[in-house]
Amino acid sequence: MWKNDYNRWKEFTELDADLASNLEELTSDEQSLEDAFYKNLEFGTGGMRGKLGPGTNRMNIYTVRKAAEGLATYVNDQGLSNRGVAIAYDSRYMSKEFAVETARVLGHHGIPSYVFTSLRPTPELSFAVRHLNAAAGVVVTASHNPPEYNGFKAYNEDGGQLPPEQAEIMIDFVNKVENELKVEAADQQELEEKGLLRWIDDEVDAAYLEALKGVTVQPDIKKDLSLVFTPLHGTARDLVEKGLEQSGFTSIHIVEEQAKPDPEFSTVASPNPEEHQAFEMAIEQGKAIGADLLMATDPDADRLGIAVPNEKGEYVVLTGNQTGALLLDYILGQSEQLPKNGLLIKTIVTSEFGRVISNSYGIRSLDTLTGFKFIGEKIREYEQTGEHTFMFGYEESYGYLVKDFARDKDAVQAAVLAAEVGAHWKNQGKTLLDALDELYEKHGYFLEDLQSMKLEGKSGTEQIQAIMDDFRNAEIKQAGGKKVVAIEDYATTIRKHVQDGTEEEIDLPTSNVVKFILEDDCWFCLRPSGTEPKIKFYYGVKSGTRKESEELLAAVKATVNERLHALI
């Protein structure tokens, strides 16, 4: 079947010259050729992401045009075409080209595009949609994926990624595009002359930086903090540096070797602040100057990682759960007055640490499915109803939102607040590790971990589903010596209580996720990645001490891995 699509591409006389050459190279590699054509690159609830190259299962100008055609139909269907679409892109190969292709397709349908002239962080795109009153937004990015990847993320008129209901409509429009090679795109120069392609920059930057001032909790505290920051070859340098400066920080040191945008991310194995190796250069520079805080953002600047020195002068990279707990506790503990209807929003795979902290301040917490689009959706819902006031949103994978002028995770906001939190504790003679220890002593020692297994191609997809099916249907009674209390299957939205067999509905959208709730606030969860060919295993435990939690975590992981290894 896939050979029909291959022949269609092979016989297309107007095929882009570079793609035609790449396609010719693939003909000697049957397996790679099949992988490039065996399916259409899936446009899911988070948009699409894939390897660059020719084929229906690859990111290229034709699959981007197909996505843009679906977006154009979606915008027209919503009756919002006159409001236009904001478009941003990161430092990856073909990012600007894909942004312009998107604008050309939208322009063919008479829909204006507002395109940044150079790379910008994803959260600024979210802000731009709202600031420009646009109908939708697009970011061309593959976040922290390897260099051979790129992607297309779609945003709604609220500046959030499309939640399931809207995403299903757009996915349907994209899937109805029968031939990606035949999607029409207008001439760029003509669109510019007609005002259907408008280049944007300074005005949006200035407005974002003005909004960023609202992230500050204590404007007048002493900010004598030495910072090292690396954008990991991505988009964050300009806004993070300016945001820190306008907040009052003066000792800001940039890792210059990683400051320049580079689609190869040549100084790191992975441009992901979740990976400790991404901090190597920052740590080296931090030790040289005695920095109080190190910060790293991923290429599209929606994730932030931080590292702080311990008592031996060695830098410790905090987890997303730990950073989220510190930011949350600071916001709630240092705000002059907390609203009675305040709300923390986190995801189902984020630590229970945040819930315990928010409860201690009388602030309610709410869980969503994994993915910041669900947090953005809830912000919008409560903004309209007035039922809750948004206080903070985060997920364990280094994503945080402090103020809702953006509706996606925002590493620029998080960097400015993290620096302030560091300064606050330094003024008291403490480090962020000291502050974290105080939280553990008060609330219990929470410890989490994440394992992922990469399974690529058609066979990998089948393996991932087989693993999910096995765990979903298994009668697992215990893990790490802890009894299974309940099993939450988000595909059926049913929570089953193991002891008495009773069931109840989970009030969340369906998702291919299974979570095992263990006794004593412990749990583990399985979830296929929505953006990478991986299956992820999340773990969370709690006990009285770090040593006890480490032993418990190892025991729970061992139970899961034993079953997994038997399967594989």
- At 111 the three-state DSSP class reads coil
In three-state secondary structure terms, 237 is helix
Q: Is 452 a catalytic residue?
A: no
Residue 325: both structure tokens together = 């707990």
Phi, psi of 85, deg, nearest 5: -130, 130
| 531: nearest Cα among 196, 119, 143 | 143
- Bridging pattern class, strands 85-89 and 113-116: parallel
How many other C-beta atoms are found inside a 10 Å radius of the C-beta of residue 250? 11
**What are the CB-based long-range contacts (under 8 Å, 24+) for 26-31?**
26/53, 26/54, 26/55
Length of the chain: 568
Rounded to whole angstroms, the Cα distance separating 199 from 207 reads: 16
Whole-number Å distance between alpha carbons of 182 and 404:
40
Residue entry with tokens 């606030």:
521
Which residues pair with residue 366 across a beta bridge? 345
* Geometric angle at alpha carbon 235, from 22 and 537, rounded to 5°: 75
- The amino acid present at 141, given as its one-letter code, is T
Partners of residue 295 on adjacent β-strands? 229, 306
Residues 516 and 475: beta-carbon distance below 8 Å: no
Of the residues 143, 226, 358, 549, only one is catalytic, namely 143
Sign of CA dihedral 401, 405, 408, 414: negative
Q: Can you tell me the distance from the alpha carbon of 85 to that of 75, in angstroms, rounded to the nearest whole number?
A: 9
> Is the CA virtual torsion 426, 428, 429, 433 positive or negative?
negative
DSSP collapsed to 3 states, 401-446 = ECCCCCCCCCHHHHHHHHHHHHHHHHCCCCCHHHHHHHHHHHHCEE
Q: Which two tokens stand for residue 113?
A: 């595009």
Q: Would you please indicate which residues are annotated as catalytic (active-site) residues?
A: 143
